[in-house]
Amino acid sequence: MALVGDAISHSLLPGIAIVFLISNSRSTGLMVTGALGAGLVTVWLIEFIHKKTRVKPDAALGVTFTTLFSIGVILISVFADKVDLDLECVLYGEIGFIYFEDGKSIFGLEVPRPVIRMAGTLLFVTLLLVLFYKEMLVTSFDSGLATSLGIPTGWVYYGLMMVLSLVIVFSFESVGAIMVIAMLIMPSVTAALLSDRLPHILVMTVSFSSFYALSGLHLASWLNCSPAGAMVVSGFALFCMVWALSPRRGLILLGIKKYRHKKAEQFAREL
Amino acid sequence: MKTLHGNWKYFCWIGFVFVPGGDVFAAKIAELSNTQIGEQLVRFFSLRDPSVRYAIIASLLLGTCCGLLGSFIVVRKLALMGDTLSHAVLPGVALGFLWTMTKNPMAIFIGATIAGLVGTVVVHWIHTTTHIKEDSAMGLVLSGFYAIGICIFTMIQHLPTGNKAGLDKFMFGQAAALSTIDLIMIAVITTISTLLILLFYKEFLVTSFDYGFANSIGMPARFFHYLLMLLLAFSVVVALQAVGIVLVSAMLITPATTAYLLTDRMHRMLIYSSLFGMLAGVSGAFFSYLGNSLPTGPFMVVAASGLFTIALLFGNRHGIIPRWFRHADRTRRIQIENTLKAVYQIRERTQFKEDGVSLQQLGGQRNLPLVETAKEVKKLLKERYATIPKDKGGHFQQNLKLYLTPSGWENACRIVRNHRLWELYLTESAHYQPDHVHDDAEEIEHVLGEETVRQLERNLNFPIFDPHGKPIPSIIDLGESV
């Protein structure tokens, strides 16, 4: 499922472009509508192709998102004069520009609008997660059990996908379409190397993501490069570190174990 | 946010028509869209313009190459490997650029190939040393490597000597801006891939479908896996210039998936897939040539997806619409057979003395309301399995009776025979309880072939009665009716 996020992040482009073309405005509500619509269409298409034909899910996913993404690019380039949408910004994000967006005053502090939007999304997602934690847990690990418990797995699945689209559309501004996938899977994969319990993983992902953000911004200002790229690079570096050093599944530990095993084997043979 | 222009400037190139001598058409791209489509078609396919010629040759070669390699990754369920590779080559492209500080195709090619291969090795390594699933590993490598590439590129852009066009060129591709050396590289890679696939067709086939078997017969399966990955990396790198990073994976998997919908044989899939790849490539180049400032890559992908949609809907064997028709046809046949069986059962109750069956009896037997029964009877009449005698005026009689024609009766006997033979088989050979066999037989009776029925009969020693004590219509009964 990890790459569904990638697929959705690419296929949101035509959704946003169509909404722009029709309404010619960049209001948050419309953007969210376009994103949700595109997200749903993507997930539905992938399911449709995969279920109705013998095409494997990975190929269905690949075909779907590349098609939708191409349609988005074509729309934007054909109506380039009408769409005031920066493709580069959608692809890579420009977190540095957020500061320059017009802001709103909260407690005397000038807070840029994207920050407010993202805070709202965070609150919303956290609330949903707290409310539906059990349902999410069961459907994620055992959809058969979930169905037998009376949990509407289809609804949970589509709900999750819609929330995912929502999160992705808001993260366009900061990390862009391609690297949002990193922000989605890197923290959880890294945490999964360290623990097997979902609550622990959830807590760890939050701290990891904040680490990415902080170290990424520092790295970006040090190397004078793209902040989004730097965040993901620091995430990747953290993953590699954990992969090597993890006390339970680390590469080094694995190597030591293998070495000891070999030694023991040798010893056994000598005996 | 910045506004959108600049990025698309390059793509205008495909719109230019270089008619020697400075023809009026060469003046402005905008005028092109005012000319007739037919005229543009002629111009496009007459290959007068060198950039169009290059674009077409490149698309044909790339279509072949991507189609061939894509077939293997699609059947290996590695469809997203192409996507991973195409993103993972970015740091290599950037480093290759840094190496020479010019857009030297060779340096970029070497850097990109190395980065792509490192990417596939890391995916494999993560997958084998941890419990992380392959798709997550691909996602990690894809985004991690891509981010490294973006960082290096933005650093280059901030350098005083940095060439700003470096990155954007690779995003969506520009088939018309391919240089001669690019074209030569595409041709070389395509030739190498095609030759290797032809030479090692058997090996690639076996390792793709049964890795364990390939290992057990002493085939170096891992070697062929990495050879395929190497070829894939090569083709991704050369295709980048024409279709761009984001969409190169589509050129790999969409034509191959389309072919996969149409055939079950690998060699046919390879041929179809490269044909679709070529078709998509050329039509993509053509469409982007039609309008002004349009990128090549997205049009190629949309053309390929169009072919995919057609195959998905109308494909002979796996297409949705033909399958829907087949399904409807089968449902209809089963309904007809059930009605015939009901007629048989009604007649059996009177020891076959009464020939005609009334609508009410039939409805009762089939447990259907009268209107539905009438519809079923209509189907029988249409297939000429039954007749209803009419009076002199050509109207149906008051309390009408249904009479089966010889072919209808034969079919009815056949179905009942299948049903009862199967019931007997289940009780005799599979030791089912006699009251548990009906539902199973109800389904299988429609699909038992003549051969299977003969075999059942032989195995059961030509039985006369089913487990419920009812006679099984024999072959002689079937023959008698005719």
**Per-domain residue ranges for chain A?**
1-174, 182-271
Listed range (A13-17, A61-65, A168-172, B147-151) with the worst mean pLDDT: A168-172
What's the pLDDT score for residue A236? 92
Contact B262, B317 (CB under 8 A): yes
What's the pLDDT score for residue B24? 33
Tell me whether residues A70 and B253 touch, CB distance under 8 A. no
Of the candidates B126, B155, B299, the beta carbon closest to that of A74 is on B299
What's the pLDDT score for residue B26? 34
Show the domains of chain B with their CATH numbers.
29-315 (1.10.3470.10), 319-404 (1.10.10.10), 413-482 (1.10.10.10)
Q: How many CB contacts within 8 angstroms connect chain A with chain B?
A: 214
DSSP assignment of B10-77 equals GGGGGG----TTT-GGGS-HHHHTTS-HHHHHHHHHTT-SHHHHHHHHHHHHHHHHHHHHHHHHHHTT
Region B100-122 average pLDDT: 84
Is B306 within 8 Å of chain A by CB?
no
Please give the mean pLDDT across all residues of chain A. 82
Tens-digit pLDDT profile for residues B166-224 = 556 666 666 666 778 888 888 999 999 999 999 999 888 988 888 888 888 888 888 88
Contact A213, A231 (CB under 8 A): yes
What's the pLDDT score for residue B17? 28
What's the pLDDT score for residue A165? 84
Of the candidates B5, B77, B308, the beta carbon closest to that of A56 is on B77
Of the candidates A62, A179, A192, the beta carbon closest to that of B143 is on A179
Q: Testing the interface with A: which of B77, B81, B143, B158 to mutate, by most A Cβ within 10 A? A: B143
Tens-digit pLDDT profile for residues B122-175 = 998 888 888 888 888 998 998 899 889 888 888 887 776 655 555 566 666 666
Q: Testing the interface with B: which of A67, A83, A102, A257 to mutate, by most B Cβ within 10 A? A: A67
Other CB atoms within 10 A of residue B397 CB: 10
How far does the CA of residue A271 sit from the closest CA of chain B (Å)?
31
Using a pLDDT cut of 70, give the percent of chain A over it. 86
Q: Which residue of B has its CA nearest to A195?
A: B131
Using a pLDDT cut of 70, give the percent of chain B over it. 82
Give A88's pLDDT tier (boundaries 50, 70, 90): low
Greater pLDDT, A218 or A24: A218
Listed range (B81-90, B293-302, B409-418) with the worst mean pLDDT: B293-302
What's the pLDDT score for residue B416? 87
What's the pLDDT score for residue A82? 61
Please give the mean pLDDT across all residues of chain B. 80
Cβ-based burial of B465 (10 A; exposed 0-12, middle 13-18, buried ≥19):
exposed
Q: Which residue of B has its CA nearest to A99?
A: B1
Tell me whether residues B249 and A78 touch, CB distance under 8 A. no
What's the pLDDT score for residue B55? 80
Ramachandran category for residue A224: left, alpha or beta (phi over 0 → left; psi -120 to 50 → alpha): left
Q: Which residue of B has its CA nearest to A50?
A: B312
Give phi and psi for B60, each to the nearest 5: -60, -45
Chain A CB contacts of B2 under 8 Å are 86, 88-89
What's the pLDDT score for residue A101? 59
Tell me whether residues A2 and B139 touch, CB distance under 8 A. yes
What's the pLDDT score for residue A52? 84
- Maximum distance among all alpha carbons in chain B? 104
Cβ-based burial of B18 (10 A; exposed 0-12, middle 13-18, buried ≥19):
middle
Among A116-125, B12-21, B74-83, B192-201, which range has the highest average pLDDT? B192-201
Give B270's pLDDT tier (boundaries 50, 70, 90): very high
Angle at A20 between CA A15 and CA A24, to 5 degrees: 165
d(CA B92, CA B97): 8
Give A93's pLDDT tier (boundaries 50, 70, 90): low
Tell me whether residues B302 and A71 touch, CB distance under 8 A. yes
Q: Which residue of A has its CA nearest to B72?
A: A59
How far does the CA of residue B128 sit from the closest CA of chain A (Å)?
11
What's the pLDDT score for residue B145? 92
Of the candidates B133, B147, B250, the beta carbon closest to that of A236 is on B147
How far does the CA of residue A105 sit from the closest CA of chain B (Å)?
22
Chain B CB contacts of A231 under 8 Å are 147
Angle at B232 between CA B226 and CA B235, to 5 degrees: 145
Give B273's pLDDT tier (boundaries 50, 70, 90): very high
Of the candidates A1, A77, A91, the beta carbon closest to that of B8 is on A77
CA distances to B150, B154, B238, B243 from B165, rounded to whole Å, are 13, 11, 18, 16
Q: For B471, which DSSP code?
A: B
Tens-digit pLDDT profile for residues A18-46 = 888 888 776 777 878 888 888 889 989 99
Chain B CB contacts of A84 under 8 Å are 1, 3-4
Contact B293, B8 (CB under 8 A): yes
Greater pLDDT, B53 or B139: B139
CA distances to B5, B12, B393, B428 from A78, rounded to whole Å, are 12, 12, 69, 72
- Residues 334-393, chain B: which have Cβ within 8 Å of A? none
What's the per-residue H, E or C state across A149-184? CCCCHHHHHHHHHHHHHHHHHHHCCCCHHHHHHHHH
What's the pLDDT score for residue A250? 82
Secondary structure class of A52 (helix, strand, coil)? helix
What's the pLDDT score for residue A106? 60
Tens-digit pLDDT profile for residues B330-381 = 999 998 888 888 888 888 888 777 778 888 888 888 888 888 888 888 888 8
Q: Testing the interface with A: which of B9, B95, B134, B150 to mutate, by most A Cβ within 10 A? A: B150
Give B32's pLDDT tier (boundaries 50, 70, 90): very low
Greater pLDDT, A104 or B434: B434
Greater pLDDT, A93 or B32: A93
Listed range (A86-90, A234-238, B132-136, B214-218) with the worst mean pLDDT: A86-90
Task: Name the token pair of A24.
Answer: 């010619």
What's the pLDDT score for residue B193? 93
Q: Which residue of A has its CA nearest to B153?
A: A225
Contact B470, B341 (CB under 8 A): no
Chain B CB contacts of A224 under 8 Å are 154-155, 158
Cβ-based burial of B274 (10 A; exposed 0-12, middle 13-18, buried ≥19):
buried
Tens-digit pLDDT profile for residues A179-203 = 788 888 889 889 988 888 888 888 9
